[in-house]
Amino acid sequence: GEDVEQSLFLSVREGDSSVINCTYTDSSSTYLYWYKQEPGAGLQLLTYIFSNMDMKQDQRLTVLLNKKDKHLSLRIADTQTGDSAIYFCAESISDSWGKLQFGAGTQVVVTP
C-alpha cells in the first residue's frame, strides 16, 4: 500500500525537544519531506532529506532517516509556542512521478 503513517498528536512543553515520527512505504523514494501547516494556511516546507543520507541538521531541526525500517523522524530543539502546528511527512513515489504521498499529519501543541 501507499500509506504513510504518523502519530496524530504530540504535546510538548515550551523549551523541550519535540520528536515526530513517520513510517513510509516506498523503499525507492528519492526524497522525504517535512512540511508544517498552521491553521488556515498552506504547507510550509521545513526540510527534506535525500534517501542516501542518514541525518540532516538545519538549525533547530534534525531529520533522521532509517532506510532499513523505512522510518523518518523530525526533532525540533527548544520548541517554541510558534511551533504549534500540524506537521506532515511526505515521500516521493518512485512509480508515480510528481506525486507526494502524505501522512495524516501530527498535531503538535506546545504548552508554556
Beta-bridge partner residues of 63: 56, 74
β-bridge partners, 47: 34
Minimum CB separation of residue 39 from other proteins in Å reads: 11
CB 43 to other proteins: min, Å: 4
Question: In Å, how far are 26, 56, 102 from 60, measured between CA atoms?
Answer: 27, 11, 23
Our measurement of the distance from residue 93's CA atom to the centroid of its chain's CA atoms, rounded to an integer in Å, reads 16
Shortest Cβ distance from residue 8 to other proteins (Å)?
A: 11
Q: Toward other proteins, which CB reaches closer, 79 or 92?
A: 92
What's the CA gap between 66 and 55, in Å, rounded? 9
Name the β-bridge partners of 14. Answer: none
Closest CB 95 distance from other proteins, rounded Å: 10
- 41 vs 55 by CB, closer to other proteins: 41
Say if residues 73 and 8 touch (Cβ distance below 8 Å): no
For other proteins, give the closer residue by CB, 12 or 33: 33
Interface ranges with other proteins (CB under 8 A): 30-31, 33, 35, 41-45, 48, 50, 88, 90, 92, 96-105
